[in-house]
Chains A and B, each alone.
Chain A
Amino acid sequence: MSGRHAVADRMGNHRPGLLNVVSSELLRLRRRGIALGWLGLTTAMAVLINVVMFQIVKNGSPPPLNGPGINFPTATTLLSDKGIVAGLPAASSMFGVVALSFWALATSTDYSTGLVRVLVSAQPRRWRLVMGKWMALALATALTTVVALVVSLMVAPIAARAAGFTPTAWGTNLGPDLASATVNLFCALLVWGTIGLALATLTRSSGIAIGVGIGYVLLLETVIKAAVSSAGRWLPGTTIAALANGGTPDLTYGRALALGLVYVVVALGAALVVFTRRDVTD
């Protein structure tokens, strides 16, 4: 792939384009820590949510109050045609936290290793570096979304049988159900990840970025929602959850999609402005 996207000018100089940045970034994402960590945690989350949500229904107890991170589905939902992929929206915030962490990690590593100065001197059009990284991480996120889906498809029937359920409705609308669950989760993770990229670009630290991101969702947004209930449905965490669930009574899918897009544009815009204007002193 290398070299195919580069354009040579009349002087014979290479003029690498955006796809060169994406290709370069994808190669760097192959490092074991990132690849195995991200995919491994996604797999673990998918297994965990499927086992737990069926066990809760099996016990006959009402689903726990929806706290930050997980929205447990009801027995009705689990036995419906969407039940086979109910784990994806249920644990979207968990998947989201993982996505935010790895987007932040992939971004901040450029600073901690000093790689940012190599990247900028090789590709001084800095916006391409940001957009290329965003596109590469979006592709990686698509891969993890598919992994989460596949794991759910494999684990959900086993977990259902173990809990004593025979969900006959599963598979009656399989194609659209899989597609919507995958697209919704991907969109949600894209918002999570973009926020992680922006935070890591602003702070140049994965630790701070992850801390701020998770702290916001687990604590701050909950507090804000409690204090100003009318504002709650517009906040990022709620918006992303609505996006993953294909809409909620408080926030329609279309509005969640639009809000998610706004959050992506704002976060990416902030990262672009900061990265293109800031001196590279790392």
Chain B
Amino acid sequence: MPSGQCQLEELFPDPTGRAQQEDIHANTIGKTVVIDVEANRLVMCVSAHLHTGMSMGVIRTDRLTRRFGDLVAVDDLSVEVPRGGVTGLVGPNGSGKSTLIRMLLGLIRPSSGTADVLGHPISRPEVYASQVGALVEAPAFVPGLSARANLRSLARLRGLPDVRVEDVLMTVGLMGREQEPVKRFSLGMKQRLGIAAAMLPDPQVLVLDEPTNGLDPAGIVEIRGLLQRLGESGRSVIVSSHLLAEIQSVCDHLLVLRFGVLMYAGPMADLLQRAESHIDVQPEFDSDLERLHQVLVDAGWTVTTDSSGQLRVLAPLAAAAQVNRDAGSGGVTLRAIHARQDDLERIFLEMTGTNDDELAASRAAALRPPHDPGATSNEADR
């Protein structure tokens, strides 16, 4: 059996041959694989630190599962988060992000599987708690106490000197407001305070759930810069967010979850490389539309027509000039030509479904019993 198939089985316990084995590249040793569940095939292999036999990651999970009654919040998750840099954790609502974070922090226990943080099992969070800072869901403070008093109480809990409080207040830009009771803070200020609390222990691993929630644009830029600096300093920052543009701009690595199942794990750049590009073209005269279509097809391009009747050439961005030349050679002058590439949001939606109906359909498919002849996805196989 090729090593790549072994990898696939470790990540997705029962590929059952439905993933097109020919798509599995031979050199997937130590690579992350991506499964297109809808198409039921292996999409790509990207370099990561999965299953290399030697743990390089700051967080590693092995078949980690958490059930709440019938609901499987995190499903057989095996993944490794690389040390250093910023890793994004994304997924639709209910995809298991918060459950995963809570398990890593020792707030809830897994139903099965194992995981470790900084090399220590999550069954003993007290061993690594001093090196992990976290903002889990909404920032939580005593409303009647000042920002400083809240942070001091957390510093004392962690056995840290009060000077750390001043450091983190300065870092998140709350100096000058530190004496105000938290109940008077705006959502953005509470968010900054939450990040300050997470940074109190000067952690090696920083886990932030929606860190830019409620921040104004300047605040978002500020926090983005802070996260990048922390990542570049060798710390491992894990950011969970629905703001995919933010994730794309700040993260080096990405984990995508859907219904508790890992959809992607690997470098952001590798994921973005698979983004489809296209070139939208408009002839000078609408009457030339059909002619332009034919000219481009004759030139060898794959051309589609969108709902507004605009022609779309499926081609790399760099092909725009050639498309323009081909149209001109065919006697059609272009009024407009736009080269576009899918961003993370587009890729994410393709992976996870674009609307609630799609998500519900996917969910139903994922929950369908394995013996159901209609079940075709890898999720259903599990």
Closest to A123 in B: B157
A-B contacts, CB under 8 A, total = 120
Q: How far is the CA of A109 from the CA of B130 in the complex (A)?
A: 24
List, in ascending order, chain B residues with CB within 8 A of A6's CB: 158-160
* Residues 25-54 of A contacting B (Cβ, < 8 Å): 25, 27-28, 30-34
Given A2-B162, A5-B159, A124-B125, A31 contacting B140 (CB threshold 8 A): no
Residue A120 CB within 8 A of the other chain: yes
B364 contacts the other chain (CB 8 A): no
Q: Interface readout for A4-26 with B: 1 if CB under 8 Å, 0 if not?
A: 01110000011111001101110
> Which among B24-32, B141-149, B352-360 touches the partner chain?
B141-149
- A120 adjacent to B106 (CB under 8 Å): yes
**Residues A1 and B154 in contact, CB atoms below 8 Å apart:** no
Given contacts A28-B145, A279-B109, A281-B108, contact A117 B140 (CB under 8 A): yes
**A168 CB–B CB distance under 8 Å:** no
CA distance A109 to B141 in the complex (A): 10
From 133 to 176 in chain B, residues with beta carbon under 8 angstroms from any chain A beta carbon are: 134, 136-138, 140-145, 149, 152-162
- A residues less than 8 Å from B134 (CB atoms): 118, 121
On whether A280 and B158 interact (CB within 8 A), knowing A2-B152, A31-B144, A124-B129, the answer reads: no
Residues in chain A near residue B145, CB distance under 8 A: 27-28, 30-31
For B109, the chain A residues whose CB sits under 8 A away are: 279
A residues within 8 A CB of B11? none
- In the assembled complex, the CB of A161 is this many whole angstroms from the nearest CB of chain B, namely 40
Size class of the contact patch on chain A: 35 or more
Given the known interface contacts A15-B130, A30-B149, A280-B102, the answer about A24 and B156 at a Cβ–Cβ threshold of 8 Å is yes
Task: State whether A3 touches B160 (Cβ < 8 A).
Answer: yes
Contact among B142, B152, B154 for A122, CB-based, below 8 A? B154
| B146 nearest in chain A by CB position | A31
Minimal beta-carbon separation of B312 from chain A (angstroms):
47
> A125 near B: Cβ within 8 Å?
yes
B131 at the binding interface (Cβ < 8 Å): yes
Q: Which residues of B have CB within 8 Å of A118?
A: 134, 136, 140, 154, 197
Q: Provided the pairs A117-B136, A279-B107 are in contact, do residues A122 and B129 lie with their beta carbons within 8 angstroms?
A: yes
| Chain A residues, CB < 8 A from B142 | 28, 31, 109, 113, 115
Closest to A277 in B: B109
Q: A24-B153, A122-B158 are in contact. Are A113 and B143 (CB under 8 A)?
A: yes
Q: Bound state CA distance, A208 and B157, in angstroms?
A: 28
B201 at the interface (CB under 8 A from A): yes
Do B159 and A3 touch (CB < 8 A)? yes
B105 contacts A by Cβ under 8 Å: yes
Complex CA distance for A78 and B107, rounded to whole angstroms: 54
B141 touches A13 (CB 8 A): no
A89 to B234, CA, bound (A): 62
A16 partner, pick from B108, B136, B143, B157, beta carbons under 8 A: B157
User: Which residues of chain A from 76 to 125 have a CB within 8 Å of any chain B CB?
Assistant: 109, 113-125
Instruction: Name the residue on B nearest A13 (C-beta).
Output: B130
Cα A262 to Cα B102 in complex, Å, equals 35
Q: With an 8 A cutoff between CB atoms, is B34 at the interface?
A: no
A192 vs chain B, min Cβ distance (A)? 23
- Which residue on chain B has the smallest CB distance to residue A32? B144
Residues of B within 8 A of A15 (CB): 130, 159
Residues of A within 8 A of B155 (CB): 2-3
| Docked CA distance A1–B162 (Å) | 9
Q: Do A24 and B140 touch (CB < 8 A)?
A: no
With a 10 A CB-CB cut-off, give which of A1, A17, A27, A109 has the most chain B CB atoms: A27
B157 / chain A contacts, CB cutoff of 8 Å: 16, 20-21, 24, 119, 122-123
Verify if B132 is at the interface (C-beta below 8 Å from A).
yes
Interface string of B100-139 (1 = CB under 8 A from A): 0010011111000000000000000110011110101110
- A123 nearest CB across to chain B (Å): 6
Which of A20, A121, A124 is B159 in contact with, Cβ under 8 Å?
A20
Give the complex CA separation of A3 and B200 in angstroms: 13
- B158 to A121, Cβ gap below 8 A? no
In the complex, which residues of chain A have a beta carbon less than 8 angstroms from the beta carbon of B156? 1-3, 20, 23-24, 27
Q: Which A residues are in CB contact (< 8 Å) with B143? A: 113
Which residues does chain A contribute within 8 Å of B152, judged by CB atoms? 2, 27
Say yes or no: A27-B137 contact (C-beta < 8 A), given A21-B157, A117-B107, A121-B129: no
**Roughly how many angstroms separate A13 CA and B124 CA in the complex, as a whole number?**
15
Residues of A within 8 A of B131 (CB): 13
Bound: A137/B157 CA distance, A: 16
Q: Are B153 and A279 in contact (CB under 8 A)?
A: no
Residues of B within 8 A of A122 (CB): 129, 154, 157-158, 201
Residues 238-282 of chain A, each 1 if its beta carbon lies under 8 Å from chain B, else 0: 000000000000000000000000000000000000000001110
7 A-B contacts (beta carbon < 8 Å): A3-B155, A3-B159, A23-B156, A25-B153, A121-B105, A279-B102, A279-B109
Interface residues of A (CB under 8 A from B): 1-3, 5-7, 13-17, 20-21, 23-25, 27-28, 30-34, 109, 113-125, 279-281
Other A-B pairs beyond A2-B160, A115-B142, A122-B157, 12, CB < 8 Å: A2-B159, A6-B160, A14-B130, A16-B130, A23-B156, A28-B149, A28-B153, A32-B144, A109-B142, A114-B138, A118-B197, A120-B107
The 6 closest A-B CB pairs, nearest first, are A6-B159, A16-B159, A114-B140, A31-B144, A24-B157, A124-B125
